[in-house]
A = this chain, B = another copy of it.
Amino acid sequence: MKIKDIAKLAGVSPATVSRVMNNNGYVKADKRKAVEAVIKEVGYQPNEIAKSLKNQKSKIIGVIVPKISTETASRIVDGITQVTKTRNYQLLIANTNQQIEEEINSLKFLSNKLVDGIIMSATEVTDQHIEVARRLTVPLVIIGQKMEGFTCVLYNNYNAVTDLFNYIVDSGHQEIAFIGVDQRDIEVGQIRKQAYLDGLERHQLPYNPDLVAIEDFSIESGYKAMTRILEKRLPTAVMAVTDHLAIGAIQAIRDCGYRIPEDVSVTGIGDIKLAQYLSPPLTTVHYNFKTSGQIAAEQLFNQMDQEEKYVAEDIYIDYDLVIRNSLKKR
């Protein structure tokens, strides 16, 4: 059923039907009523693709995430939908499974006039990313990583880890282990580690490579990393760069017969929903991922709305230290 058919049934021209559908232009009350009657009668719904082609916009926002089945990603997406729905925009999700190549491809593909703007939650930013991003014909907002020349929504990782580190030291810990991720992830792998190293130095604590382990993002990685550390030395506290890593570490510590937090304290970062329901509840840093999605979407719409060149800006999301019982004062 297309606009022509409706026109015929209502005894008017296609243009009139279009005017009724979009509520613009002049159309007499009786014709309008006739058209509306037919529309309701046959349950006519316009072809969105044809509209997109004609209007040169799809009312779709592309979202690129490294892995949708992750609490972080799904909360970001939730935040994005929160604001896109007020604008009647739809979300096209590209799940890249942490494959850099997939990410680049999605970036290219989505921009082919399929979407009006793109939000990308990134873990790693390569030169290739930047190159493709520069060629984009639609606005792009990045979440989670810094990318020169684009609006980025960032978590204040350095300050967060610093605050957390200070709190751990203030609680009387001197042997603080660190479980991190690959340095290619600038924000999580590099900055969080740097804050740890700077923390050691600031408190005149020695750097001990035996207390540092680098792994992937999974719970299992946390387990492996902690196991490696325990083979060499027993720290009094462990700082993991994500809650999942912390959970794996806790498991490993228990499997070695130690108690938490009596023997070893553990902290995470992220404050996943279940962090407070673990036992002991996890001391961590709360990031409001949903908010970051909302802000990214708002920024994107800002760029889409204004014709002139926008000014890229970095926006830092607030964080909160969440003190629970997985860390014990000594």
Measuring CB to CB, which residues of chain A are less than 8 angstroms from any residue of chain B? 43, 45-50, 52-53, 58, 60, 67-71, 73-75, 77-78, 81, 85, 90-95, 108-109, 111-114, 135, 219, 247, 250-251, 273-274, 277-279, 290
Contacts and interface: CB of A to CB of B under 8 A. Distances in A.
Nearest to A289: B69
Contact of A290 (B43, B69, B109): B69
Contact of A90 (B73, B92, B247): B92
Contacts of A114: 48-49, 90
A75 B73 CA distance: 12
Given A49-B52, A74-B74, A91-B93, 12 more contacts: A43-B135, A47-B53, A49-B114, A71-B71, A77-B93, A78-B95, A91-B94, A91-B95, A92-B92, A219-B277, A247-B274, A277-B278
A108 B48 CA distance: 12
A112 B70 contact: no
Contacts of A94: 90-91
A251 B278 contact: no
Contact of A113 (B49, B75, B277): B49
Contacts of A81: 68, 93, 95
Contact of A274 (B85, B108, B274): B274
Given A60-B92, A95-B81, A279-B278, A112 B247 contact: no
A18 to B, nearest CB: 15
A58 B53 CA distance: 12
A90 B285 CA distance: 34
Nearest to A69: B78
Nearest to A114: B48
A222 to B, nearest CB: 10
Contacts of A219: 273, 277
Contacts of A70: 74
A218 to B, nearest CB: 10
A69 B74 contact: yes
A40 B77 CA distance: 33
A73 B92 CA distance: 16
Contact of A74 (B46, B73, B108): B73
Nearest to A85: B95
Contacts of A251: 277
A279 B280 CA distance: 9
Nearest to A44: B112
A135 B43 CA distance: 9
Contacts of A85: 95
Contacts of A58: 49
Contacts of A273: 219
A68 B63 CA distance: 13
Contact of A49 (B46, B53, B135): B53
Contacts of A49: 49, 52-53, 58, 113-114
A85 to B, nearest CB: 8
A45 B278 contact: no
Given A71-B71, A277-B278, A278-B279, A112 B46 contact: yes
Contacts of A69: 71, 74-75, 77-78, 290
